[in-house]
Amino acid sequence: MTAPAGPRVGLIMGSDSDWPTMEAAAQALAEFGVPFEVGVVSAHRTPQRMLDYAKNAAGRGISVIIAGAGGAAHLPGMVASATPLPVIGVPVPLKYLDGMDSLLSIVQMPAGVPVATVSIGGARNAGLLAVRILGASDPALQKSMESFQAGLESMVLEKDENLRR
């Protein structure tokens, strides 16, 4: 069986102003060679586009959606309500409230509609979590994740060594 050629992860955000935060997710996916697509989909300004995106994503070969939004951050939850795919929410910090508004808007989902919420501004972890989800059914990708984790361990041990010198 050959892997689908198109994007496996949909990386969407409520506004292009979210990109400086969200590009860390793109970076993580690129590091692992995971094909992804990027787009602006606003829950409030383009509600129909958001529903179309959510409803069609699985059929287009997308396996995981990463959705970032700030303020009244309804995008991840609304997308999760209209797709069977796993959705990872990234609370984008804005000028006021330090991203607490975004975090609480994304994390407090009603039972039955899960969103895997990462930390405020935690787009890199969202990308890495998407890699792990895909890795569950892709042994090569899972191996890459194991190597990455071993690299983290080496990095910490090296820092420890440096500190002791």
Residues in the annotated binding site: 15, 18, 45
Helix, strand, coil shares, percent, the chain, to 5: 55, 15, 30
Identify the residue among 7, 10, 71, 127 touching ligand RP5 (CB under 6 A): 71
Residues contacting 15, CB < 8 A, separation 6+: 40, 42, 69, 70
* Minimum CB–partner distance for residue 135 and ligand RP5 (Å): 28
Q: Does 76 bind ligand RP5 (CB under 6 A)?
A: no
Among 41, 69, 90, 130, binds ligand RP5 (CB under 6 A): 69
State phi, psi for 14 to the nearest 5 degrees.
-70, -20
Pick the piece of the chain touching ligand RP5 (CB under 6 A) from 28-36, 47-55, 67-75, 78-86: 67-75
- Residue placing its CB nearer to ligand RP5 in the complex, 122 or 135: 122
Binding residues for substrate: 15, 18, 45
The amino acid at 73: A
**Residue located via tokens 């939850």:** 77
Q: Is 7 in the site for ligand RP5 (CB under 6 A)?
A: no
Which residue's C-beta sits nearest to ligand RP5? Answer: 14
Enter the tokens of residue 32.
């692992």
Residue type for 2, please?
T
Beta bridge partners of 69: 91
Q: How far is the CB of 151 from ligand RP5 (least distance, A)?
A: 32
- The nearest distance, CB 73 to ligand RP5, in angstroms, is 6
Residue indicated by tokens 């796993």: 86
Q: How far apart are CA 132 and CA 134, in angstroms?
A: 5
* Under rule CB under 6 A, residue 12 binds ligand RP5: no
C-alpha 45/C-alpha 49 separation (Å) is 9
Q: Which positions lie near ligand RP5, rule CB under 6 A?
A: 13-15, 17-18, 42, 44, 69-71, 92, 94
